[in-house]
Amino acid sequence: MKKSRITGVGHYVPDQIITNEYLSTIIDTNNEWIIERTGIEERRWFTPGKDTVTSMSLAASTLAIKRAGIANKDIDFIVFATITPDYFVPGNGVLLQRELGIQGVPALDVRNACSGFIYALSVADQFIKTGMYKTILVVGAEIQSSALDKSDAGRSSAVIFADGAGAAILQAVDQDQPGILSSHLHADGDFAEELYLKDPGSSREVRLSPEIVDNPSFKMYMNGNTVFKHAVVRFNEVILEALEANGKNKAEIDLLVPHQANLRISNYIQQKMGLPDEKVFNNIMKLGNTTAGTIPIALSEAWEQGRLKEGDLVCLAAFGSGFTWASALLTW
């Protein structure tokens, strides 16, 4: 049986930089408050008319394909993680497929928010292990700024969420090669309404109306305290689960790449795991929380910075809406 290996990574973030200072001109907030609560100094928001989820994912995928040393036609399958597709229907996977010029290649969309990329990575890994596909493109991409409540009422989420795309190429390799060791997926729907965007939902008498658009249900809602309390527990659990499943310990991790939810969460997990700064990758300070995009963007930046070396033990971990949480352990 084959195993999966990440052979190329790429990312794209919009040109438009949104600073804390700018947000303080439209929301009752300030730079010190945002940094203290989130660790974010600035984030990227898309430029209407230029950036789409499709165009951003195409740029990220093209870079990942180049770095993997393959051609578009070598891709057997696309797994696309996003909660902000360009269209309500169809999903974004087929739109990316069209832009890559690989019509006929299957495309699957994953809607697991912050855990979306690891869920998508796990799905791709299983397809490679079974021998069904040999080369899979896995993408995480979001445009969230257009759905944010940019008023004082939406302050807690408006300062956090951002836009961007990341991509990874997974290829089949022999068992003695570096690659994905295991993935671990969890969910608890009891907390679905603690971090969600209710409308437009299909179970309304009218899916979209002026009343719905003007209602708070049309904006992102997040119970920050509840999310934080569960995140710090689940992050730690799912990382330890991955290590235990592979007979590894915390000290053996060369790089932890957590979902960039909040720098306070990442720092807490780092302290809990006893990892030095050089073993944890964070970029939320400059890019904000791009949900499904955070981990592949971080992997791409880490690779560019020389922080991913062949044979390194890398742990990916995420927690978010659903609640869902997940981890993957791999050798680079």
Residues 279 and 308 sit within 8 Å (Cβ to Cβ) = no
Is 315 labeled as catalytic in the residue annotation?
A: no
Check residue 204 and report its DSSP letter.
Answer: S
Identified catalytic residue from 11, 184, 230, 259: 259
Strand partners, 221: 196
Q: How many helices and strands in the chain, by DSSP H and E?
A: 11, 13
Is 289 labeled as catalytic in the residue annotation?
A: yes
Q: Is 138 in a helix, a strand, or coil?
A: strand
> Which residues 6+ apart lie within 8 Å of 167 measured at CB?
9, 10, 11, 57, 60, 61, 63, 64, 137, 138, 139, 140, 296, 300
Identified catalytic residue from 11, 20, 112, 114: 114
Is 186 labeled as catalytic in the residue annotation?
A: no
278-283, Cβ contacts within 8 angstroms, sequence gap of 24 or more: 278/307, 279/253, 279/254, 279/255, 280/255, 280/256, 281/255, 281/256, 281/257, 281/307, 282/39, 282/258
Phi, psi dihedrals of residue 42, rounded to the nearest 5°: -160, 165
Residue 175 neighbours by CB distance under 10 Å: 8
Identified catalytic residue from 20, 112, 283, 289: 289
The catalytic residues are: 114, 259, 289
